[in-house]
């Protein structure tokens, strides 16, 4: 039975070529879109590693004033910390959470080397952002007079530079005269938000000479915009002709999310339309195919085929074609994990493949269902009568 139908499909391969190409192409598109969606989803499910609720970011601008800038920023920070509404405040380089700013550099340890995001900050950031330590500690007063520069790294960096080792106490050469020493490891730190890929991160202390002018302020629950206005007014009173702008991290997080979600949604919509199109095309082709084969259907019925076996024949044919197309598609798709195209987990690719396979079979079945059913309902006498 099966051999008979395989022969039939094989002998009709030229007629089927276009259909195969169509299914193959939609499989690949689906695979691409799903990889994109799933990697975002996977990122989303990974914790960002800090808390942004009640945290404000104040961006200072010194404008023309260039005298004693680091000291002025420090005194502003001290002033901010003095408010009862403020739980904790930290200075930070301009790559504060959910901004577009980046400060990455490569770091190496022995033979390993990787790109990492550098955050310059102070001893209290872990409190301001409620960062969970996994090993060791955040840098503190005990490091101030040390000859090395203390570092806190995230686990991703540990995996890259110190695989299988305890990184605490390890030193990394910074330049000819300076050393970094790892004092702590945090779980994750995804500064760009949930959709960001978990990448290596390094926190190093600000020095007295650094001009970094972002201040993260963790306020007490219930603190409102009135305090914000007072805060800005007070700060600006301290430094003439400076500027100060406050944004809530919850707001910038939303903006950052939209940057990721908008393309995801656009991609999703486009590919949904594409799949609907493919589905309709398939439906049309199958309908036509069945209309052309009414004679064959009538004949098979006359020879003893039941309605069910006619339905199954047509469904089976499309499944064989889909399987063949998917197989061709998989040959392409497996190249991505094999050749490590894009820095992505093989798991994501495999999951995308699996989901794409299921979706293609679903679409194909859905589109073939009705025509196949119609085919089985054709009255044999009528079908035979026609040609």
Partner 1 sequence: MIKLQNVEKVYRTSSVETLALNNINLTVNKGEFVSIMGPSGCGKSTLLNIMGLLDEPSQGHIEIDGRRVESYQDQKLARLRNEKLGFIFQSFHLINDLSVLDNVEIPLLYRNTSAKERRELAREALEKVGLSNRMKHFPKQLSGGQKQRVAIARAIVGRPEIILADEPTGNLDSVMGNEILAILQKLNADGATIIMVTHDDSMARQTHRLIRLFDGTQVQ
Ligand X SMILES: Nc1ncnc2c1ncn2[C@@H]1O[C@H](COP(=O)(O)OP(=O)(O)OP(=O)(O)O)[C@@H](O)[C@H]1O
Residues that bind partner 1 (CB under 8 A): 1, 3-4, 7-8, 11-12, 295-296, 298-309, 379-381, 384-385, 387
Q: How far is the CB of 382 from ligand X (least distance, A)?
A: 5
Point out the residue whose Cβ comes nearest to ligand X.
382
Closest to ligand X by CB, 298 vs 329, is: 298
Token pair for residue 24? 């193959």
> Is 166 strand, coil or helix?
coil
335 contact, one of ligand X, partner 1, none, CB 5-8 Å limit per kind: none
Cβ(242)–Cβ(62) under 8 Å? Answer: yes
377 contact, one of ligand X, partner 1, none, CB 5-8 Å limit per kind: none
Closest to partner 1 by CB, 165 vs 307, is: 307
Q: Which residue has the tokens 């605490």?
A: 168
Closest to ligand X by CB, 340 vs 385, is: 385
The candidate with the shortest Cα–Cα distance to 198, out of 260, 77, 117, is 117
Q: How far is the CB of 11 from partner 1 (least distance, A)?
A: 4
120 contact, one of partner 1, ligand X, none, CB 5-8 Å limit per kind: none
Dihedral sign computed on CA atoms, order 224, 230, 234, 239: positive
Q: How far is the CB of 296 from partner 1 (least distance, A)?
A: 5
Closest to ligand X by CB, 362 vs 382, is: 382
Print the binding letters for residues 347-386 with ligand X: x by CB under 6 A, - otherwise. Answer: -----------------------------------x--x-
| Beta-sheet strands, E only, within 167-321 | 171-173, 179-186, 201-205, 214-219, 243-248
The contacts of residue 116 (CB under 8 Å, 6+ apart) are 104, 105, 106, 107, 153, 157, 199, 200, 201, 202
Print the binding letters for residues 186-215 with ligand X: x by CB under 6 A, - otherwise. Answer: ------------------------------
Closest to ligand X by CB, 268 vs 380, is: 380
Strands 149-154 and 104-109: unpaired
Q: What does residue 331 show for φ and ψ, rounded to 5 degrees?
A: -55, -40
Q: How far is the CB of 386 from ligand X (least distance, A)?
A: 9
Q: How far is the CB of 381 from ligand X (least distance, A)?
A: 7
Q: Burial, 5: exposed, middle or buried (Cβ in 10 Å; 0-12, 13-18, 19+)?
A: middle
Q: Burial, 144: exposed, middle or buried (Cβ in 10 Å; 0-12, 13-18, 19+)?
A: exposed
Q: How far is the CB of 304 from partner 1 (least distance, A)?
A: 2
Interface residue list for ligand X (CB under 6 A): 382, 385
């Amino acid at each position: 039975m099966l051999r008979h139908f395989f022969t039939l499909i094989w002998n009709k391969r030229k007629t089927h070529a276009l259909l195969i190409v169509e299914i193959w192409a939609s499989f690949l598109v689906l695979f691409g879109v799903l990889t994109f969606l799933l990697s975002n989803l996977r990122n989303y499910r990974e914790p960002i590693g800090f808390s942004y609720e009640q945290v404000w970011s104040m961006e200072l601008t010194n404008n023309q004033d260039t005298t004693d800038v680091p000291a002025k920023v420090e005194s502003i920070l001290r002033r901010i910390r003095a408010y009862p509404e403020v739980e904790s405040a930290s200075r930070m380089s301009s790559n504060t959470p959910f901004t577009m700013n980046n400060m990455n550099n490569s770091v190496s340890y022995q033979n390993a080397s990787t790109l990492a995001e550098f955050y310059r900050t102070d001893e209290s950031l872990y409190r301001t952002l409620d960062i969970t330590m996994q090993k060791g500690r955040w840098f503190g007063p005990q490091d101030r007079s040390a000859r090395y520069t203390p570092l806190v790294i995230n686990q991703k960096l540990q995996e890259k530079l110190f695989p299988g080792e305890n990184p605490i106490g390890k030193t990394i050469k910074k330049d000819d005269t300076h050393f970094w020493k790892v004092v702590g490891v945090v779980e994750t730190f995804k500064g760009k938000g949930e959709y960001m890929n978990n990448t290596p991160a390094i926190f190093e202390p600000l020095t007295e000479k650094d001009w970094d002018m972002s201040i993260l302020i963790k306020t007490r629950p219930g603190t409102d915009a009135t305090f914000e206005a007072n805060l800005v007014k007070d700060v600006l009173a301290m430094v003439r002709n400076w500027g100060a702008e406050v944004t809530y991290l919850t707001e910038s997080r939303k903006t950052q999310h939209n940057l990721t979600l908008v393309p995801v949604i656009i991609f999703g919509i486009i590919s949904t339309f594409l799949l609907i199109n493919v589905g309709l095309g398939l439906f049309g082709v199958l309908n036509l195919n069945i209309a052309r084969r009414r004679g064959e259907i009538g004949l098979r019925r006359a020879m003893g085929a039941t309605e069910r076996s006619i339905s199954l024949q047509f469904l089976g044919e499309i499944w064989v074609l889909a399987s063949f197309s998917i197989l061709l598609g998989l040959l392409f798709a497996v190249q991505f994990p094999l050749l490590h195209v894009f820095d992505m987990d093989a798991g994501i690719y495999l999951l995308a493949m699996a989901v794409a396979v299921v979706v293609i079979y679903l679409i194909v079945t859905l589109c073939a269902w009705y025509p196949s059913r119609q085919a089985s309902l054709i009255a044999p006498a009528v079908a035979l009568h026609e040609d």
